[in-house]
Amino acid sequence: MDNENDNGKNNGNELLDLHEHPGHLLRRAQQISVSIFHDEIGGELTPVQYALLRTLAARPGIDQVTLAGLVAIDTSTGASVCARLEEKGLLERKVIPHNRRQRALTITTAGTALLKRLDPAVHRLRERLLAPLTEREQAQFMRLLDKLVLENNDQSRAPLARPDAAA
């Protein structure tokens, strides 16, 4: 009992219960999110493919490096995912004439149609994931999760590029 505070919580002198580790809970939340994503979306896209297409739809013509930064994935992963999306006919990659090492990306008509078709599933995904929380808790959770991610962005191996910095 010497190592617990008045609330029965560990005061840091012993290992925490696994369910008191934010990293463990975040990993579990990610597992649950991906599972629900696949339930709703099926095998058409992975979560990363969806994120890349959704971002590209909002910013057509950006290069692969910028797109990877806006989705917070490393550039080599971004390039390989873009290549798979191109194979599926969902985006086009064109060499940028003034910088032949980069490719400008545009979403295809098929890619736009797929995103539109997936919109109801994406809304269900969000509803299912946040369903255990009240409406007020959902808003608070999203604010806090956003703050946690943004304030720790520099700790990531693939930091999120600020949209205004990537313009």
Fold of 18-155: Arc Repressor Mutant, subunit A (1.10.10)
Predicted confidence at residue 57, as pLDDT, reads 96
Q: CB under 8 Å to 95, separation ≥6 — which residues?
A: 102, 103, 104
Q: What angle, 0 to 180 degrees and rounded to 10, lies between the N-to-C axes of helices 109-130 and 47-58?
A: 120
Give the dihedral of Cα atoms 143, 144, 149, 150; nearest 10 deg.
Answer: 60
Which residue is it, tokens 């995912």? 81
How close are the terminal C-alpha atoms of the chain, in Å? 56
> Which residue, 42, 43, 41, 49, is CA-closest to 86?
49
Predicted confidence at residue 89, as pLDDT, reads 97
Pairing between strand 91-96 and 99-107? Answer: antiparallel
Q: Where are the domains of the chain?
A: 18-155
Quote the CA–CA distance of 103 and 56 in Å, as a whole number: 13
- pLDDT, one tens digit per residue, over 108-156 is 999 999 999 999 999 999 999 999 999 999 999 999 999 999 999 888 8
Q: Look at the chain and count its residues.
A: 167
Cβ-based neighbour number of residue 165 at 10 Å: 9
- AA identity, residue 161: A
Helix (H, G, I), strand (E, B) or coil at 3: coil
pLDDT tens-digit profile, the chain (167 residues): 444 444 545 555 566 788 788 999 999 999 999 999 999 999 899 999 999 999 999 999 999 999 999 999 999 999 999 999 999 999 999 887 777 777 889 999 999 999 999 999 999 999 999 999 999 999 999 999 999 999 998 888 787 887 654 44
CA distances 160 to 44, 45, 67, 150, Å, are 25, 21, 10, 8
Predicted confidence at residue 1, as pLDDT, reads 43
Predicted confidence at residue 133, as pLDDT, reads 98
- pTM (global) more than 0.85: no
